[in-house]
Structure 1
Amino acid sequence: MTAIKGEDYYLIAENKVYRNIETQAPRGEIRDRNGVLLAGSKPSFTVSISQNELNQEGVNETASLLMNILKENQETYIDEFPIVFTENGYAFTYEQKVRDWKIQNNIDLSKNAEESFRTVARNLNDQGIIKINPDDSDLEIQRKINQAGFYPPISISKMEFTEFIKKQEWLLRYRIRQEDITAEEAFKRLKTFHNIDENISDDKARDIMVIKDLLRSKGYFQYEPAVVAMDISKTTVSKIEELSLELPGVSVDVEPIRYYPNGAFASHILGQIGRISSQDEIEKYVTGLGYNRSDMIGKTGIEKHFEDVLRGENGYRRVQVDAFGRLIENIETTQPSAGDTVYLTIDSKLQKVAEESLKKTLETIQVGGIYESQWGNMRLRNNRRVYNKATSGAVVAMDVRTGEILAMASYPDYDPNLFATGISIEDMANLMPANMNDPLAPKPLYNIATMTAVQPGSTFKMITGLAAIENGLDPNYKIKDEGYIELGGRTFGCWLWNVYRQKHGEEDLIGALRDSCNYYFYSISVGYDYSKDKPLPVKMGSQDILEMSKLFGLDNLTGVQIEEISGRVPNPDQKLIETRRSLYFDIYNRMANHFTDITQNSQTYEDRINEIVGWTQENPSRSELMRRMTDLNVKKELVEEITDHVKYSYYTQGNWNQGDTFNLAIGQGAHAYTPIQMANYISAIANDGYLNKVTVVDKIESYDKKQINEIPRESERIPLNNYGNLEYLRRGMIDVSDEGTAKQLFEKFPIKVASKTGTAQKTGTIPEADEEAYLLRHLRDFNLNQARVLERAEELEKESNENLPKHRYIRRAIKDLNPSLTDTQINRFKETYDNFAWFVSYAPHDNPEIAVVSLIFQGGSGGYAGPVARDIMAQYFGLNEEEELLEEDPDSTSDF
């Protein structure tokens, strides 16, 4: 038989292959330090469709009927079909996603992938979020960008937008090699490909294609069912069962899905999950780790950073398939094992107080109301105004001894359950900022505590004071506050002088911290007593303050196991770079009609603009600068105007000067730190100089509870000349709570708290959500005719090689038609930003255990961020009535 039928038997054997159909393992649990469940898994109904069991002649009818059922019952289904219908007709989602990303990141729409990547990298470097070295490769730059929590949709290896790569792969799936095919042409070709009746509407046709695209995405793995919808209702299950004869190949199974029993609770720590989507994820998880393309993975937070231990081990159903991937026979079944449990350092009761108090604080500030508390009521308004734009904020509570995060809240937040089965377009839209142009617009998905770095204001003054006394300044040396210091034509005033025209009198270090006396810190920052017009007995300069800032970790990541960016200690050299960059963008359009012999659209124009920018560091005299402008053929009548503008608005500001050191000393200027960095800095003051590596994870316990991996607590003592100097900072902060700007907060509080308030300036106008509408609305104020402006804008767009948003051309047209207008004048009808409010604290004063730092966007005054810190401390020290703050959902379990 072998001799006669050997080839036949060989083919049969070759055409029968064993494969495993995976059954999803429940993700490991995430619990707080006391074992309270924060993220688990629950059983849910999942709808799948199997190519192997479909009636191929009636597959379109099956797909259409299934989609009708899902839509009628308002179920969220998996829709990865990349052609959609818009107001402008058919469109590929690939192009839409790239365009949306560019708009969100203020990138010229005409830029290709490489140009866009360079723009993102340059912007993040200029903002101090990442640090790019000259010899960094593209892969190293990408690593730094990703580490900072930014993920440009660009494949570095191919230097192409990942969405465009996915588009090419998708077209090839249907044997379409025409890369420039339009969405409409592709849709019509697929309608024929899938044998969809011409009389069926495009909407119904697309429903069919959604299902058939899911099936086709399986490729050779036809034996694997394609998941269509997850976590469907019992009503939908009943309907599918009722119509089972009309839905061959459609099945409903019980599978685990991620579940967060407390909704939005600790959402920015826990993070979210989602389907594998980006090219980087495909390469890492599918190609590298053997995941299925349809698997859910951690996208942010603990879910992402502990994906390898949370995932668990999938079970499988072993089957026999033929050479075409079609199912022949079921062989055996192996049960899945859940992932390990991650225990966090946060305390759920403390976390709940942090979240509720932060929200209450923001709501009270917005209406200028009274924050009521058993520890003392506080009016959160200025006598002259209400800070109604205080809509976002964050708070961090940290164990000063270990660096453990005890609570961390960011507002607004979001419910990660929305992502557990794939978020809908509508839900995702609701989580986006209402004003994409405003960097301070509320962003529910953004963790302010770790991902936003801003000026610290007066909360930084302990660094300046420590730098001075470490250099030898007697902390008891008194400097008389004379209200303000005149320097280079500018006035640097103490806050008391600026607001009330009053002076603090004589101040030593402790008193200056208590009263937040700017005059004292201005003086010690440069080693000069301006009240006595003589040098201090120690040498001091900006570098001493900068180095002390770095010692306290303000230039580095804290080490927390979720997304974070590193704040930025100012760099004097960076100031010149940023000044040059700002000058370029300012005068590039401003000078479009300033030359006698050239227009804007020429290389010579670009060269002249760069030449003017190149004089920044030199800062020529006014007369020399006017001569150079004349040599560049600037129009005679405009020479004086542009000379004064570039010299006094930019050149004189380009190099680091004494005024910059003054701003540095009081936490203004180019500082930028995150709340979590500030909490670690305050902890180091409280714990006698130990800088901790921050952790939000306590331990990891295996599913069978046989193995526990403790997360090590690490700290390193800051090298100081005299650790006793820290006591002067602590005494100053205690006086802030007892007698200073935080006195009202802690008058009735039974535990002595050390604290410091800070108000950080946020200058500028708030961009409009619709810049085009704003400009057109105010054309009369600019003495311009709308028809003429739009006509000129259209001309500029045709002349330009750029693909910019329409409002950019309208703005150029306005300045063309009325050259006297500056951007500042055009923006004068917009609202201005309010100041950031900071509050830093630790307690008890004599044996510190906990540090709490809060930040309120546009909160107006530092003290307004204080009530949330006081509430957290009251809970931590057991001053509140005990109550059950969180309850576990009885349906949540990992036992399947």
Structure 2
Amino acid sequence: MINKKIKDRYDVLRVCFVVIFSIIILKLGYMTIIKGDYYFEQAQNKVYKKILVESPRGEIRDRYGRLLAGNRASFTVQLLKNEIEKANANEVGQKVINVLEKNGEKYIDEFPIIKENGKFVYTYDKNIEEWKIKNDIPLSYNAKESFYHIVDRLVDEGVISIDDNTTGYDLQKILNENGYYPPIYVSKWEFAENVKKNQWLYRYRIKEDEKLSTQETFNRLREYFKVDESLNDDEARKILLFRDLLKSQGYLQYQPMKLAIDIKKQTVAEIEELAIELPGVSIETEPIRYYPNGNQASHILGQIGKISQQAEIDTYTTDKGYSVSDMIGKTGIEKTFEDKLHGEKGFKKVVVDSSGRLIQNIDIQSPKAGDTVYLTIDKDLQKVAEDSLEKALKTIQAGGTFESPWGNYRLRDNKRIYNNATSGAVVALDVKTGEILAMASYPDYDPNLFATGITTEDMNKLLPKNKNNPLEAKPLYNIATMTFVQPGSIFKMITGLAAIDNGLDPKYEIYDKGRIMLGNKSFGCWIWNDYRGSHGPTNLYKAIEQSCNYYMYSISVGYDYSKEKPLPVKMNVDEILRYARLFGLDEKTGIEIEEISGKVPNPKAKFETTKRSLKYALDRKLKTYFDDINGEKDKEEYEKRVDEIVSWMGENPGRGTLLKRLEKLHIKEDKIGEVADLIKYSYFNQAKWTTGDTFNISIGQGSNAYTPIQMANYIAGLVNGGYRNKVTVVDKIESYDKMNIDKVEVQREKIPLNEDSNLDEIKKGMLRVTEQGTAKKVFGNFPVKVGAKTGTAQKSGRIPTADEVEYLISHMSSFGVNNQEALDLADKYEKADDSKYSKDYYIRKALYKLNPRLTYDEINRFKDTYDNFAWFVSFAPYDDPEIAVVSLIFQGGHGGYASPVARDIMVEYFGLTKNEDDYEVKEELKIKEELNR
């Protein structure tokens, strides 16, 4: 019986073995006979790999083919992971880095632990801190609080408007459209740097919940890579950064990595001499981006840099197959035309084993260079624009004289020197095509600094010295396309055109009495404000020539205040703003680089927009401002009180009434003054549209704000027969093999006016500006007829100091409080609040507590006030306009001070000699002038 059972089991086993081997044989037959080709190809793909070879970046040239951005050969130190790890990787790393340091070479150091003041810190944390400091965000704020801090500030400044239904994603889009890119993931309210930090820690299986200190993490990695214990931290870090770079390569051991770019020949020689001691370290020749003209056209060309932001990683590495070490365009033409300029990489085909180690080189395919982008700018004209702008700024700062063969011009008045005139921009535009001929922003920068990765020291030099001052010089910022400010009197042509196109005779005279009184508020002409004078009888031509505010005030509302009767034309602010929109002042110009748009005001929406903005601001601000409720916990009561405050907007009560009402709502005693000032002066007073608002709009003040490039395109539309151009800075794109050329077509549309001939009336007024008006001193002897307009736009407020804490302490006695008592109270507030805000916030809080009568303006009274923006717009030749030039100088004092820049550009454009005694004009221009006569 037992033997039978054993035999039965053997039979079962035999059947099982037969079935198993039958399946194996059938599977092998299927794989070798039926799917043999498929699996052979799969095996080949696992064996053969491609090592990418860098392609030269496409060139950028000016309209005449002159090089603006190209490439030059450079030596690069490359690492081959599998060869290094066969040897002693730590020793190789230490040796090669010591060679690089000895010769003063920059090398790639992305190891995220650095030493500061004797302590280890994460670069991720440092980057977050620096970003907060740069944007004046309390260091204790988390990602969500930091994000909304930016939003709140931009809402308060009127840069953006939102409502209660605006989501985080919507806000992110709005911020990006206005040129703000908070490094925050809205989806999970996390700093992008923290996400990268956790990803890096995970590479070493260090979990976030371990909560290791930076020092402990550093020590863990020393053990992980078996760094010699006898080495100090600095020497150990060199090895760690080297090993971390190798580890970042993952399993692609055959793919070389870059350690240093653009090294000296001496360094090349030393590394090659140590070839036996440095296995896996090689020298390769690669193209490097090169800008032969240094700073020239830097804001147009832009800069390149390594892929770093998550959006860039998603776009380029995930979607487009870039390597994480690739350089991409970050700004300007380099960014916009990245796909064209990048080129197509070549490759070396190699054989690797199952571990990814290189076995054999098989084949090579040469890379293809990127396409060439030809710009519309003239290199020579661009240089003149940049040099003249810089010269004008430095002359204004010194209160000197702008010297020129065409006449000297003193850039100071009898009252003061404008030494804050440190920034400006100029745009020269072809009025018939919308092509940018030159565009400069000062200060500028050298894009070569970014070609191989900019150092911290160089980057710090490019950052604003006073981060608190919005008008501080910013070398990396393109004022021409990214800054909108009040236009002042250069907007008056819009007001004048709106009136005459609606039927007002341009010769109709209004008697300028100097000022118009609305209640107890005076709206004076500049001649009244400065000299108590008037322009007397004034028509459109004289109003433009002498920049008469009184005339513009009157026509803006269709009322002659000198005769106290309506004008023979119906006019209001809506008409003025309709014409502003017709000339594109509510939209971007279409230029191919970064651009924001100034906005035409909307009187009808002003009240509701201001109301929504106030509700949003209060909802974010007052959560801890009530002494009997907490906004986070008592949401229903909190929202009820916020709504009550907002409901007072239509009434707009006085400050004293506001203080009493806020006290009844249980606003904390030390917060009442702050809240009252916020709602009264920043919102209530700004909500209702008044005749005074219309007056301000008519002369380019108020909520008017436009960019220099918008202004240039508007002037072009005024003088080219009424056509609105799409602005372009790109002429054509030529493929690397010269076989295909994509020409950028001129795009323009007719501006719908009642009478096109009315544009000629505006031009007549602008001609009088240079022949007998505010620009006569600059263009009086110019051989080409030029039409122009000066503009002096006011900037309200006081200039923040670089160190607000020092400012407050140094003026403490003037605030009527005891110095030590105020500082002690500020420290008490700060400790109770766990340093949630900046130090100066707590000092101000203490000042308000110790002296309740103090106001915001009184605390800031010792700071300098902003000087006026100086605008100058012009076109030439008068009879057949070709070029429009617009220049803007921050805090330049007077509009005329920006005019010499335009003159220099026109001298170069028309080919005029610099010899004062021998004025010559290009032959082409002479012929045109004769025909026009």
Alignment match, 1:894? none
User: Do structure 1's residue 160 and structure 2's residue 190 form an aligned pair?
Assistant: yes
Mapped pair 1:281 → 2:308: no
Q: CA deviation at 1:540?
A: 1.7
Q: Looking at both structures, which has the greater relative contact order when contacts are Cα pairs under 8 Å and sequence separation is at least 6?
A: 1
Give the TM-score taking structure 2 as reference length. 0.88
Give the distance between the partners of 2:141 and 2:580, measured in 1 at CA. Answer: 38
Q: 1:71 maps to which residue?
A: 101
| Number of equivalent positions | 880
Structure 2 distance, partners of 1:746, 1:695, is 29
Q: Do the aligned partners of 2:198 and 2:208 also contact (CA within 8 Å) in 1?
A: no
The residue aligned with 1:846 is 879
The residue that corresponds to 2:644 in the other structure is 611
Q: 364, 367, 383: which is aligned to 2:398? A: 367
Q: Does 1:466 align with 2:525?
A: no
Q: Which moved more, 1:546-555 or 1:470-479?
A: 470-479
For residue 380 of structure 1, the aligned residue among 408, 411, 415 is 411
Amino acid at match of 1:73: N
The equivalent of 2:132 in structure 1 is 102
TM-superposition CA deviations, 1:605-624 (whole Å, max 9, x none): 89656633441123258998
Tell me the distance in 1 between the aligned counterparts of 2:118 and 2:864. 34
- Are 1:589 and 1:812, in contact at CA under 8 Å, matched by a contact in 2? no
Deviations 1:705-747 (A, max 9, x none): 0100001110011111111111111111111111110010101
Return the offset for 1:570.
Answer: 1.6
Which residue is 1:209 aligned to?
240
SS of residue in 2 equivalent to 1:245: coil
The 3-state SS of whatever aligns with 1:409 is strand
Query: SS at the partner of 2:71?
Result: strand
Measured against aligned partners, the alpha-carbon deviations of 1:617-667 in whole angstroms (never above 9, x if no partner) come to 232589986874574468999999998996688634431111111111101
Cα deviation for residue 370 of structure 1 reads: 0.5
Matched residue SS, 1:672 = coil
Give the corresponding residue for 1:419. 450
State the one-letter code of the partner of 2:754: N
Q: Please point out which of 546, 553, 565 is paired with 1:522.
A: 553
Alpha-carbon distance in 2 for matches of 1:703, 1:85: 46
Aligned 8 A contact 1:129 1:566 in 2: no
- Secondary structure at the residue paired with 2:888? strand
Letter in 1 for 2:70: G
Q: Are 2:809 and 1:789 aligned? A: no
- State the partner residue of 2:376: 345
Worse-superposed segment, 783-792 or 336-345: 783-792
Deviates more, 1:446-455 or 1:565-574: 565-574
Q: 1:135 offset after TM fit, Å?
A: 7.2
Q: Do the aligned partners of residues 649 and 814 (structure 1) sit closer, same or farther apart at CA in structure 2, a change above 3 Å counting?
A: same
Contact 2:606 2:689 in 1 (8 A): no
Residue 570 of structure 1 corresponds to 601
Q: Is the 8 A contact 2:869 2:892 kept in 1?
A: yes
Deviation at 1:409, TM superposition (A): 0.4
1:26 aligns with 2:26: no
Partner of 1:49: 79
Task: Give the conservation status (yes or no) of the 8 Å contact 1:351–1:408.
Answer: yes
Q: Aligned-pair distance for 1:89?
A: 2.0
Q: Does the residue aligned with 1:705 lie in a helix, a strand or coil?
A: coil
Give the alignment of 1:245-644 within 5 angstroms.
245-572=276-603, 573-574=605-606, 577-578=609-610, 608=641, 611-620=644-653, 628=661, 631-632=664-665
Amino acid of the structure 2 residue aligned with 1:807: D
TM-aligned CA distance change 1:273 to 1:622, over 3 Å: closer
Contact 2:87 2:279 in 1 (8 A): no
How has the CA–CA distance of structure 1 residues 697 and 688 changed in structure 2, closer, same or farther, with 3 Å as cutoff? same
CA distance in 2, matches of 1:267, 1:638: 47
Q: 1:672-715: per-residue Cα shift (whole Å, max 9, x none)? A: 11000000000000111101000000000011101000011100
1:379-428 per-position Cα deviation (integer Å, ceiling 9, x unaligned):
00011110011111000000000000000000000000000011111111
CA contact (8 A) 1:755 1:842 kept: yes
Cα distance in 1 for residues equivalent to 2:174 and 2:624: 37
The alpha-carbon deviation at position 189 of structure 1 amounts to: 0.9
CA contact (8 A) 2:156 2:682 kept: no
Structure 1 residues 402 and 501, CA gap change in structure 2 (3 angstroms): same
Kept after mapping to 1: 8 A contact 2:71/2:288: yes
Match of 2:777 in 1: 744
Distance 1:647 1:120 in 2: 22
Change (3 A) 1:583 1:658: farther
Whichever residue aligns with residue 194 of structure 2, its letter is: F
Alpha-carbon distance between aligned partners in 2 of 1:746 and 1:490, rounded to the nearest angstrom: 37
Change in 2 beyond 3 A, CA 1:331/1:276: same
Judge which range, 488-497 or 50-59, deviates more. Answer: 50-59
Quickly say closer, same or farther: Cα 1:88–1:611, change in 2 above 3 A.
Answer: farther
Q: Find the aligned partners of 2:668 and 2:836 in 1 and give their Cα distance.
A: 29
The residue matched to 1:858 in structure 2 has which SS?
coil
* Separation in structure 2 between the aligned mates of residue 493 and residue 633 of structure 1, nearest angstrom: 43
2:764 aligned with 1:731: yes
Q: Structure 1 residues 350 and 544 mapped into 2: Cα distance closer, same or farther (>3 Å)?
A: same
Label 1:745 to 1:308 Cα distance change in 2 as closer, same or farther (>3 A): same
In the alignment, the residues of structure 1 paired with residue 299 and residue 680 of structure 2 have an alpha-carbon distance, to the nearest angstrom, of: 45
Aligned 1:855-866 pairs, distance under 5 A: 855-866=888-899
Worse-matched range after superposition: 862-871 or 320-329: 320-329
5+ residue gaps, structure 1, are 883-896
Correspondent of 2:202 among 166, 172, 178: 172
Which of 839, 844, 849 is the matching residue for 1:816? 849
**Whole-Å separation in 1 of the counterparts to 2:656 and 2:291:** 68
Is the CA contact 1:14–1:323 (under 8 Å) kept in the aligned structure 2? Answer: no
Deviation of 1:160 after TM superposition, in Å, equals 2.7
User: Quick one: which of 848, 860, 866 aligns to 1:827?
Assistant: 860
Q: By how many angstroms is 1:80 displaced?
A: 0.9
Post-superposition CA distance 1:36-93 (Å, at most 9, x none): 0000011000011111111555211211121112122221111111111123722111
Q: Counterpart in 2 of 1:711?
A: 744
Identity, in percent, stands at 57
Question: Which moved further from structure 2: 539-548 or 272-281?
Answer: 539-548
Instruction: Please give the alpha-carbon distance, in whole angstroms, between the structure 1 residues aligned to 2:480 and 2:355.
Output: 52
- Residues 583 and 660 (structure 1), Cα distance of their counterparts in 2 relative to 1, 3 Å cut: farther
1:214-239 Cα offsets, whole Å, 9 max, x none, are 11111121211110110111121122
